[in-house]
Copies of this chain bind each other. A is one copy, B any other.
Amino acid sequence: MPQLRLALAQLNPTVGDLPGNAALVREWCHRAAAAGAGLVAFPELMLTGYPVEDLVFRESFVTASRAELARLAGDLASEGLADLPVIVGYLDADGPARVSAEATRAAGPRNTSALLHRGRVVARYAKHHLPNYGVFDEDRYFVPGDTLTVVRLGPPGGAVDLALTICEDLWQAGGPFTAAGVAGVGLVVNINGSPYELTTDDRRLPLVASRAIEAGTHVAYVNMVGGQDELVFDGDSMIVAPDGRLLARAPRFTDHLLVHDLDLPTATAPDLAGTAAGGMRVARVALPVDPPTPPGPPVSGGIAGRPELAAEVWRALVLGLRDYVHKNRFGSVVLGLSGGIDSSVAATIAADAIGPAQVVGVSMPSQFSSDHSRDDAVELAKRVGLDFRTEPIQPMVDAFLANLSLSGVAVENLQARVRGVILMALSNQEGHLVLTTGNKSELAVGYSTLYGDSVGGFNPLKDVPKTMVWRLARWRNRAATERGEVPPIPERAITKPPSAELRPGQRDTDSLPPYQELDAILAGYVDADLGRDGLVEAGHDPETVDRVLRMVDAAEYKRRQSAPGTKISIKAFGRDRRLPITNRFR
């Protein structure tokens, strides 16, 4: 029974940085070779980053991707890695894509997995199942492949058959995995760009296991890691046996090389002729390399444990923010510190992401700011070690009030907008990225001031419901305590009733239901697409439901202008949920 030391390189590419991504591949190929790997696999579209969206339609981009792959194959060979088979995702096409159904089909952009060996591309596979739901628009971009590529790796009599697949091929029934089962391969290598989604269940492992069992093959799942605009990829690469048993699993939210020795069945298919199964053709390629028997004692990749939910979400938010800041070449961020829970948690995430000295926290008190809020902002900044400033807003607010006749909500919003102008001025003057900190519950019901507290280039809490913000704060404080550190977030910021402090004695519950109730309704309406009747059937108060749904629908125009932020839920505002602004359906 042939042995294969398989390496899965769970890495963090940057969209559009083709030379940088290729350099990452080369660096980690050296690591894989040093670990004695007989095969190394990188994530989906590793060379271009993912998702590349409408860059697909730019001929110069497709050309650059193809050229980078050829260069990479050559570079690997010239760097002494000629004999290491390398699987890597890139963008390929027959010609320039265009924004029309017929033209795209003609051009044939394909989300492709390539096998590199001895300076050449020896096999290619084009993704068959294209996700076109949620945040994905791959029917817009890619032509589906119709051929499963099976590679016979090793010398005659001691070779293994492995099949190349990509991401969604695993999530939909039929197609490549069915074909791989019929073709009798010993290993399916599935390369992924699969974003993090908060679920209390583990959805990936059961899925990988069931496909392994169905096809009777080992499955190696390698996923990217890192943030790309609103998505964060969590890694979670893994290897599963034909009986569904988990053999190895990488830690999440971090670069990792998962190296594991596999005993694979000797390839027995009589010859290399093409067959057909699962609605696909099968193309076979032989790679008669030296026996890939691993050197030294058997190596296991180990099975990384899964942290508790709050810890997992925290890591997702930290990584999503860090990559947005650094990949967009910012060195620092600035945010308003109200002393409330949202800005306290956001500041702590930012400090964990890029270091507290790179986080400017600005207290911008008004006549309605309570003493405890000012104190809590100062205390948080001190505990976390932020670059802290105070900029009272009253002089600017007064200048507007002296020149305009304003009352009620207009005066409330004015205060928030003066704060927004201050933060943007600091950004323009000093070069910080502005963070906005409205949570998902507020964003849902429009409980924010457009161009006020909503100003910012990124929102780490955009997809975090208020009740989860509290949970994150408690977890982060507890984690600090367990490490013998000072809990960053002042207890009072967690326990006090939330208030925007835009008028005397204001509380969020003046305008909104309690957050526990609000978040439950929002989970039904936003995440599960329940209508009014469904929510009432689920036990919610009809009047409250009506009020919340009206608020959510009416706030669509605000969300359309909101800053990007890391998606963690099954349905984030943005590409994940596309609703018209003009909409009279109630």
Q: Which of B100, B139, B585 contacts A18 (CB 8 A)?
A: B585
B20 pairs with A61, CB closer than 8 A? no
Asked whether, in the complex, the Cβ of B399 is within 8 Å of the Cβ of A428, the reply is no
Select one of B172, B414, B578 contacting A102, CB under 8 A: B172
- Asked whether, in the complex, the Cβ of A534 is within 8 Å of the Cβ of B396, the reply is no
Contact partners of A15 in chain B: CB under 8 A: 580, 582-585
A523: min CB distance to chain B, Å: 15
Inter-chain contacts of A395 with B (CB < 8 A) = 399, 402-403
Given contacts A17-B584, A561-B562, contact A428 B403 (CB under 8 A): no
A480 at interface by CB-CB < 8 Å: no
Residue of B nearest to A60 (CB): B531
Q: Does A511 contact B (CB under 8 A)?
A: no
Identify which of B54, B101, B227 contacts A131 (C-beta below 8 A): B101
Q: Answer whether residue A118 sits at the interface, using C-beta atoms and an 8 A cutoff.
A: no
The 8 A CB mask of A114-134 against B (1 = contact, 0 = none) is: 000000000000000101111
Q: In whole angstroms, what is the CA distance A173 to B98 when docked?
A: 17
Q: How far is the CA of A269 from the CA of B435 in the complex (A)?
A: 68
When chains A and B are docked, how far (Å) is the Cα of A582 from the Cα of B506?
Answer: 38
Complex interface: chain B residues within 8 A of A584 (CB) = 14-17, 20, 327
Q: Is the CB of A229 within 8 A of B64?
A: no
> Per-position contact with B for A310-342: 1 when CB-CB < 8 Å, else 0?
000000000000011001100000000000000
Q: How far is the CA of A404 from the CA of B58 in the complex (A)?
A: 44
- Cβ-defined contact, B429 with A410, below 8 A: yes
Of residues 413 through 430 on chain A, the ones whose CB sits less than 8 Å from some CB of chain B are 413-414, 417-418, 420-422, 424-426, 428-429
Q: Which residues of B contact A102 (CB under 8 A)?
A: 172-173
Q: Please, what's the 1-or-0 string for A125-166, where 1 marks a CB less than 8 Å from any CB in chain B?
A: 000010111100101100000000000000000000000000
Best-surrounded residue of A99, A131, A532 (most CB of chain B within 10 A) = A99
Q: How far, in whole Å, are A59 and B455 apart by their CA atoms in the complex?
A: 35
How many Å lie between the Cα of A577 and that of B229 in the bound state? 16
- A230 CB to nearest B CB, Å: 9
- Given known A133-B101, A140-B132, contact A410–B422 (CB-CB < 8 A): no
A82 interface residue, CB < 8 Å from B?
no
State which residues 530-586 of A face B: CB under 8 Å: 531-534, 557, 560-564, 571, 576-586
Closest to A96 in B: B529
Q: Which residues of chain A in 284-333 are interfacial with respect to chain B, using CB atoms and an 8 Å cutoff?
A: 323-324, 327-328
- Asked if A513 is an interface residue, CB under 8 A from chain B, the answer is no
Establish whether residues A132 and B396, one from each chain, have CB atoms under 8 Å apart when the complex forms. no
For residue A560, which residues in chain B have a CB less than 8 angstroms away from its CB?
A: 564
Q: Is A470 an interface residue (CB 8 A)?
A: no
Q: Which of B17, B140, B529 is within 8 Å of A58, CB to CB?
A: B529
Contact of B417 with A421 in the complex, beta carbons under 8 Å: yes
A280: CB under 8 A from chain B?
no
Min CB distance A526 to B, Å, is: 10
In the complex, chain B residues whose CB is within 8 Å of the CB of A392: 403
Q: Does A51 contact B (CB under 8 A)?
A: yes
**Nearest Cβ distance between residue A46 and chain B, in whole angstroms?**
15
A interface residue count range (under 10 / 10 to 19 / 20 to 34 / 35 or more): 35 or more
Task: Give the distance to chain B from A482, nearest Cβ to Cβ, in Å.
Answer: 34
CA distance A413 to B426 in the complex (A): 11
In the assembled complex, the CB of A291 is this many whole angstroms from the nearest CB of chain B, namely 41
Closest to A582 in B: B327
Tell me whether B53 and A585 are in contact (CB under 8 A). Answer: no
Asked if A580 and B52 make an inter-chain contact with CB atoms under 8 angstroms apart, the answer reads yes
Residues of the B chain whose Cβ atoms lie less than 8 Å from the Cβ of A399: 395-396, 398-399
Bound form: Cα–Cα A102–B64 in Å: 34
> Which B residues are in CB contact (< 8 Å) with A391?
403-404
A578 touching B54, Cβ below 8 Å: yes
Closest residue of chain B to A535 (Cβ to Cβ) is B60
Q: Are A410 and B428 in contact, CB atoms less than 8 angstroms apart?
A: yes
Shortest beta-carbon distance from A139 to chain B in Å:
4
Given A55-B580, A391-B403, does the pair A61, B421 have CB atoms closer than 8 Å? Answer: no
Contacts A60-B533, A102-B173, A173-B102 hold; do A579 and B402 have CB atoms under 8 A apart? no
What CA separation (Å) do A183 and B474 show in the bound complex? 69
- Please, could you name 6 A-B residue pairs with CB atoms under 8 Å apart, sorted by A? A15-B582, A16-B586, A58-B529, A59-B534, A424-B451, A450-B455
Given A15-B582, A395-B402, 19 more A-B residue pairs with CB atoms under 8 Å apart are A14-B584, A53-B579, A58-B529, A59-B529, A60-B532, A99-B576, A133-B140, A139-B139, A227-B582, A229-B581, A328-B557, A392-B403, A396-B396, A404-B429, A410-B428, A417-B421, A417-B424, A421-B451, A561-B563
Chain A positions within 8 Å of B, measured between CB atoms, are 14-18, 20, 51-55, 57-61, 64, 96, 98-102, 104, 129, 131-134, 137, 139-140, 172-173, 227-229, 323-324, 327-328, 391-392, 395-396, 398-400, 402-407, 409-410, 413-414, 417-418, 420-422, 424-426, 428-429, 450-451, 455, 457, 529, 531-534, 557, 560-564, 571, 576-586
10 residue pairs, one from A and one from B, having the closest CB atoms: A60-B531, A16-B585, A399-B399, A410-B428, A17-B584, A16-B584, A410-B429, A139-B139, A16-B583, A396-B399
